[in-house]
Amino acid sequence: MVEIVTVYPGADGESRIFDVTTDQFAEIVKHIGEGPTRLNQNQSPSVDDYHNASRVQYVVHLEGISEIEVADGTTKSLHPGDVLIAQDTTGHGHITRGVGEGARISMAVPLEEGPCSRRGDIFGIGHSPRID
């Protein structure tokens, strides 16, 4: 089963992570933003300590395993086919780890950045789990 998660900044500046349904994701992909689609390749094992998303985007994992962690200790493992919607362009950010050995390949697609994405409201589709 494909896992779809989003990371977004809470009002306190700490990133949060939660699951997104396939129906919600179908709405999100209608909001493609400006900029290039990027194919990324990194080697595992690796750790990218606390950092912000470079832009609002969704990242499809194609090969390898990644682990995303936010400040409260919540982690999600992402396998090939899984999707991360990165919205935490501000605040404390998140940690990304490459798990195992070998290449980790992903494709990053820009999304529109607007008031809903900045609020963690997933483009206004009605699911806002923010702890504000």
61 located within any domain? yes
Report how far apart, in Å, the C-alpha atoms of 50 and of each of 79, 85, 91 are. 21, 17, 10
128 located within any domain? no
Grouping H, G, I as helix, E, B as strand and the rest as coil, residue 121 is: coil
For the chain, the residue count is 132
Rounded CA separation 126/118 (Å): 14
What confidence score (pLDDT) does residue 130 get? 37
Rounded CA separation 86/88 (Å): 6
22 located within any domain? yes
What confidence score (pLDDT) does residue 120 get? 55
Per-residue pLDDT tens digits of the chain, which is 132 residues long: 899 999 999 889 999 999 999 999 999 999 999 999 999 999 999 999 999 999 999 999 999 999 999 999 999 999 999 999 999 999 999 999 999 999 999 999 999 976 445 455 555 544 444 333
What confidence score (pLDDT) does residue 121 get? 58
Question: Is the pTM higher than 0.75?
Answer: yes
Look up residue 64 and give its two tokens: 């390898």
126 located within any domain? no
Supply the CATH number for residue 35's domain: 2.60.120.10
Domain that holds residue 42: 4-121
Helix (DSSP H) and strand (DSSP E) numbers for the chain: 2, 8
132 located within any domain? no
Overall domain count for the chain = 1
127 located within any domain? no
What confidence score (pLDDT) does residue 125 get? 47
130 located within any domain? no
Rounded CA separation 65/78 (Å): 6
What confidence score (pLDDT) does residue 113 get? 75
Please report which residue ranges of the chain form alpha helices under DSSP H. Answer: 22-28, 115-119
